Structure 1
């Protein structure tokens, strides 16, 4: 089947034109050269792929570190804010207690003032005659007020005193 002008060789079920001037060794070298080029190209592509993968992993590790740092800062900020909130709540509680106490004192003082402004009448209609004319019984009321103030407890807490 081999002639000097050129023939077709069939191998593996296909036909490939082969020229007699080149030998099968040349063809084998050409195929080996192509295989080496593909192998080198594949190796280079795999190397680039590994580098891209490593670069991506490095970027993810950097991002993870950055996000952890940011998360810790947020946790710290929330903790500080919570402590501040608790302090304000505590202060508000003290202020509410002081408001209640002062409101009670004001109510008591208003009652005392209302009582003091009432004329003293023992039910017989001549209170002015007993206590000196138009004074309205102020001596008795003044004596009563001094007793009330002298026996009134002074309520204070350590939180009220500012250092």
Structure 2
């Protein structure tokens, strides 16, 4: 008996499919408009053919990821979660500039609201070219975000990934200096 794919595997497969499809300029143009409610219908054929049910309440997560992949002309999925990629987008001296963006994201209560806030964060990360954002992980996080049971866990992971390295370095400095 063949089991269902895990959510993580589904997200990875979706991102691979979309990356492959954006090599077609016409499809890429349609996908760039996926996160705009007025023009998202242009991306529907590609998304539906990729096995994405656009009738689901979490469809905005797919729309944001599809548009980001197409806008960024992404050729392969990255390795960093959102918190890590946001932190890596700033120089060490200006790292705290990412903090207001992260705090705004952490204040979100719905996946729709999170998708609205994530969109400009992705654009910022892509424009800096210092990070390696994992779009499949972000899609997975956004899909989990819709669940009351997992929303806080996703926020904790993003926060720890953004602040965690600095915290460890400060603790090491304190212990070495004591």
User: Which TM-score bucket, shorter chain as reference?
Assistant: under 0.3
**Larger Cα Rg: Structure 1 or Structure 2?**
1
- Could you state the TM-score of these two structures normalised by the residue count of structure 2? 0.20
- Structure 1 or 2: more strand by fraction: 1
